[in-house]
Amino acid sequence: MSHPTTDRRITLERIESYLPERSVRIEELGERLGLRRAELGVFRKFYGLDTLRFDPGLPLLDLLRPAARSALAALPEGGRVDYLAYAHTTQAVAPADVDIAQVVGEDLGLTGTGTEAFGLSHQACVSSLGAIEVLGELLRAEGAEDAYALMVTGEQAYSPIVQHVPNTSIMADAAASCLITLDGDGDVVRSFATRTLGEYAQWLELTAEQNTEFGEQYGSRIAEVIHQAVEEAGVTLDEIDLVIPHNVNKLAWRQTIKELGVAPEKVFLDNIPRYSHTFASDVFVNYTTLRDDGRLVDGAHYLLVSVGLGATFGAMVITHRAGGDAR
């Protein structure tokens, strides 16, 4: 999925993230997840996991609120939020009668202002990047001046079956939010490419052969989507300053780095041992880490990459603009 560069550009006016204060080592989750010491050792030694943020006593709204409010604070006088999308990985994040997108909208004071709030989850951990594309399309179709959209993402590892992705990762808590408009002063979205392999849709029911097959083609599938996004952005992979990835594990990214043929330092993996995989929030947690460390360069191109169970691969090229409000 992509759009010609002649379209009005989606811009990310402010990106914020939030991590709960409570941090645990992966060994502290062994009993909860039914993982033996040897299995935890594999996660630590080969997958690169160490600590993660996990606070089962924190209400979901309290997790989502800080980043959402911080992003919304960049809304200029006269601007209005026409759309709010809550992008999440797990299908059920709350009881069936609770619409989290509506709850967040109410908490942010958007109720009664004409904001349309809805949820997106069918691209799993790529849903946050996909939501940016959807919100941009809605703003394009509307064509109104001073129109903005808010993407909110964040969820919790509320059960062992959600928290442990076998032979892959241990999920953690985090949230993020982006204030989006068209032709603004923030980071420019230059392209977005996705590919879904539907044969892996029933992730928990895959055979051993299917799991092996998926693992063997993982790196090449990410590389295909990355090359597509880069080409559609009108740049080359060499012109990408840094890949800002999801935090699934270091082993998967070493495989992808080899497939891409890029230097290891071109892919930001520092947050994998700090925070582990935080559902659809990873790329924005990593973005804000880099931004707050002064590592994002004005005018440089960055590649946001994520993979969702099911299986969807997504890549988005953005151009950073330090003079904007995305900080």
- Greatest extent of the chain over all pairs of C-alpha atoms, in Å: 57
Q: Find all residues with CB under 8 Å of 148, minimum gap 6, and list them.
A: 13, 75, 79, 80, 81, 82, 139, 179, 180, 181
- What global pTM score does this model have? 0.93
User: Could you tell me which residues come within 8 angstroms of residue 137 by beta carbon, excluding any fewer than 6 positions away?
Assistant: none
pLDDT at residue number 28: 97
pLDDT per position in the chain (327 positions), as tens?
444 444 789 999 999 999 999 999 999 999 999 999 999 999 999 999 999 999 999 999 999 999 999 999 999 999 999 999 999 988 888 888 889 999 999 999 998 889 999 999 888 899 999 999 999 999 999 888 899 999 999 999 889 989 998 888 999 999 999 999 999 999 999 999 998 876 656 666 666 676 666 666 777 889 999 999 999 999 999 999 999 999 999 999 999 999 999 999 999 999 999 999 999 999 999 999 999 999 999 999 999 999 887 788 999 999 999 876 555
**How far is residue 85's CA from residue 74's CA, in Å, rounded to a whole number?**
17
Residue 320 CA to residue 326 CA, distance in Å, equals: 9
User: Which of 12-38 are b and which e, b meaning 16 or more Cβ less than 10 Å from the residue's Cβ?
Assistant: bbbbbbbbbeebeebeebeeebebeee
59: which residues sit within 8 A by CB, 6+ positions away? none
**How many residues are given for the chain?**
327
